[in-house]
Amino acid sequence: MTNLLKISEIQKSFHDGRSELTILKGASLELNKGEKIALVGQSGSGKSTLLQIAGLLDSANAGEVTILSEKASEMSQARKAQVRNLHIGFVYQHHHLLPEFTALENVLMPQRIATGFLSDKHKAHARTLLKQVGLENRMSHYPSELSGGEQQRVAIARALMCLPEILLADEPTGNLDPETSAEVEALFNELCDEMGVGVLYVTHDMELAKTADRIYKIANGVVEVVSEK
Ligand SMILES: Nc1ncnc2c1ncn2[C@@H]1O[C@H](COP(=O)(O)OP(=O)(O)OP(=O)(O)O)[C@@H](O)[C@H]1O
Ligand SMILES: [Mg+2]
């Protein structure tokens, strides 16, 4: 089994001037090739914090993140940006689409950053991704012209643009109706089963979580396995 992501004994505190709030107190989990893993836990338990650390968007106070055998503690900031761009697709809890670009341009953005140019093949791939998330008729819409669920689906397509081995998704179906959620779930299954992508997603939807190979629950700053297939 090829390990894609390993999070070991992560600790994370936030300071608000006077007091210190410890959110993660030794959180560990792993994601292997082709696995679909769900992360559940109450609001405020630290799911987004952990996902941001896993995606090298934030750093921990202690512990280690290993991406494809490379330790985050040994990466420079430039290397972290490169690893993120090459290997990790990230779906933010709050989409973060660029308002002045269309859906298609938003999906293409990571590719533009990675290669500095866009080929016809890249554009065709971006169109295919938008079709896969059911937005073939919304490609030239700007984010302000899209519903919340549509913006979320553009963000999922964008995360997949550079063919990442690891997909980290923070409540990817949070704004979606059951039917559209099922389509996203089918897309995740296809990525895992056919392309060997490892998908780690945060969800409050227990029905979606139940379809995962493993469910991790975060509570009191630590992560434990609550179910495994
Ligand atoms: N930059 C920050 N500064 C201070 N506190 C923070 C910061 N980011 C997160 N927190 C705190 O850490 C805790 C965990 O936040 P996080 O966003 O990880 O929760 P979550 O599990 O994703 O919740 P939700 O399900 O509501 O999205 C919260 O209590 C939050 O207030
Ligand atoms: Mg969150």
What is the pLDDT confidence band of residue 43, given thresholds at 50, 70 and 90?
very high
From the alpha carbon of 50, which atom of ligand 1 is closest? 18
Q: How far is CA 214 from CA 37, 84, 185, 201, 223, in A?
A: 5, 24, 15, 11, 12
pLDDT at position 16, please? 81
CA distance 72 to 75: 5
Of the candidates 68, 65, 45, the one whose C-alpha atom is nearest the C-alpha of residue 56 is 65
| CA trace torsion 168, 66, 4, 181 (10° rounding) | -10
What is the pLDDT confidence band of residue 207, given thresholds at 50, 70 and 90?
confident
More confident residue, 96 or 142: 142
Q: Would you say residue 179 has pLDDT above 90?
A: no
Domains along the chain?
3-96+163-228 (3.40.50.300)
What is the pLDDT confidence band of residue 82, given thresholds at 50, 70 and 90?
very high
pLDDT at position 154, please? 94
Report CA(98)–ligand 1 centroid distance (Å): 23
Verify whether ligand 1 is closer than 6 Å to residue 45 (CB atom). yes
Report CA(211)–ligand 1 centroid distance (Å): 26
Q: Would you say residue 46 has pLDDT above 90?
A: yes
Asked if residues 218 and 211 have their Cβ atoms less than 8 Å apart, the reply is no
- Dump pLDDT digits (tens) for 192-202: 999 999 999 99
Verify whether ligand 1 is closer than 6 Å to residue 44 (CB atom). yes
The 3 state secondary structure assigned to the chain is CCEEEEEEEEEEEEECCCCEEEEEEEEEEEEECCCEEEEECCCCCCHHHHHHHHCCCCCCCEEEEEECCEEHHHCCHHHHHHHHHHHEEEECCCCCCCCCCCHHHHHHHHHHHHHCCCCHHHHHHHHHHHHHCCCCCCCCCCHHHCCHHHHHHHHHHHHHCCCCCEEEEECCCCCCCHHHHHHHHHHHHHHHHHHCCEEEEECCCHHHHCCCCEEEEEECCEEEEEEEC
Stretch 203-227: mean pLDDT, rounded?
94
From 14, 15, 16, 218, the mutation candidate for ligand 1 (largest count of ligand atoms within 8 A of CB) is: 14
**Residue 121: what are its φ and ψ, rounded to 5°?**
-65, -45
